[in-house]
Amino acid sequence: MTRRRLASLILCGGIAVLGSACATKSFVENQVSATESKLTQQMTTTETNLTERAALQETKLRETADRAGESRQAIDVADQRLNGLDLRVSEVGSRASSAETRADLATGTARDVEARLSQRLASRNRHRLLETKVVYFDSGQTEIRSQDVNELEYVAKALTVDPNAILELQGFSDSRGSDRYNRELARERVEAVMRYLVQHHGIELRQLRAISMGKVALGAGEKASPEALAKARRVDIRLLAPWSSWEDAQTQTNPTAPEQTVTVVPAPRGPATISALPVQAEPIQPTPAARIDAPARGRLPEFLKTITPKDLGGQE
């Protein structure tokens, strides 16, 4: 009986232990499950936070990259502008140098013009002999002959082309008759030439200068032959142009030719028609272009205002 009780106790103790063990295992499993759920939830929360932070950091990095790109573009644009400014500064410097060179040339040209104007003013009353023509008359007559009309046509055209040109007319007669008669006859012949030029070609009287020279005396040992008398009955025509007009014509023909100063040489009083050539003279070198100071440059306009057309040999 004792053994049976002991066995029963042992059996009951084992059963109690097994029950207790089963209860502990279930508790442990529940605890493990709860812990695992908490860990899973915490990991999920942590992962979510990390993802959000990573996304936020990525967004910030992108914004930073975009700003860096914009800054780089701004720097490139600034570099381009600086390069453009450098080019403009260089261009402005070149233009300034060119302007200074042109100013120097203009200053030199102004000085040269002033010198040329001064020279023209000094020579405003000087004329250059361009051509000499002769018109002959019959004995005791003052009418223009038909064969001499071409000579008058030529000088009339020259006067029309250059309104500042003038004609010097000198009337002559042969040695027969009294001095008074010959002076009147020579005067009428000169007036006939003037009248023809005025009436047929509209030449202004200011362009005509006439004088009666009277009879032509025969030379020593010369006989009063019909040929000598015919050559004496004439009007000498000398075509003169102001020095400035002749100079302008020469400049247009040869712009690089140096200026020349000459003295008018009277034409010979021979009977034949003469084509006068320009009188040669030593050239005067033009004033070289040089820099002048501001006061001299300022005096040039005032100097130009004092010049009148009459000073240059022209009309009022």
pLDDT digits (tens, 9 = 90+) for 120-144: 666 566 788 989 999 999 999 999 9
Mean pLDDT of 110-119: 75
How far apart CA 28 and CA 35 sit, in angstroms, is: 10
Q: Which residues contact 92 (CB under 8 A, 6 or more apart)?
A: none
* Structure tokens belonging to residue 234: 């004439």
Q: Are residues 139 and 56 in the same domain?
A: no
Q: Are residues 168 and 269 in the same domain?
A: yes
Which of 68-72, 207-211, 293-297 reaches the highest mean pLDDT?
207-211
Q: Are residues 199 and 144 in the same domain?
A: yes
Closest CA to 194 of 183, 204, 182: 204
CATH number at residue 170: 3.30.1330.60
Q: Are residues 271 and 132 in the same domain?
A: yes
Q: Are residues 208 and 68 in the same domain?
A: no
Closest CA to 191 of 261, 125, 144, 242: 144
Count how many domains the chain has.
2
Q: Are residues 43 and 169 in the same domain?
A: no
Q: Is the pLDDT of residue 88 over 50?
A: yes
46 located within any domain? yes
pTM over 0.85: no
pLDDT at 280: 34
Q: Which residues contact 271 (CB under 8 A, 6 or more apart)?
A: 134, 136, 231, 232, 234
Neighbours of 181 (CB within 10 A): 14
Query: Which residue did the predictor score with more confidence, 148 or 112?
Result: 148
What is the side-by-side order of every strand in the sheet holding 166-173? 127-136, 234-242, 166-173, 208-215
pLDDT at 109: 85
Where do the DSSP E strands lie in 71-126?
none
Q: Is the pLDDT of residue 23 over 70?
A: no
Q: Could you tell me if 207 and 167 are in contact, meaning their C-beta atoms sit under 8 angstroms apart?
A: yes
Q: Supply the Cα-derived Rg of the chain in whole angstroms.
A: 60
Query: Which residue did the predictor score with more confidence, 79 or 158?
Result: 158
In degrees to the nearest 10, what's the CA dihedral of 9, 12, 13, 17?
170
22 located within any domain? no
Percentage of the chain modeled with pLDDT above 70: 72
pLDDT at 123: 58
33 located within any domain? yes
pLDDT at 293: 46
Residue 147 is given by DSSP the state G
* Domain of 41, in residue numbers: 28-95
213 located within any domain? yes
80 located within any domain? yes
Query: Which residue did the predictor score with more confidence, 5 or 193?
Result: 193
- Give the pLDDT band (50/70/90) at residue 22: low
Q: Are residues 157 and 267 in the same domain?
A: yes
Which of 100-104, 152-156, 299-303 reaches the highest mean pLDDT?
152-156
Query: Which residue did the predictor score with more confidence, 195 or 63?
Result: 195
For 230-266, the pLDDT digits (tens) are 999 999 999 998 876 655 555 555 544 444 444 443 4
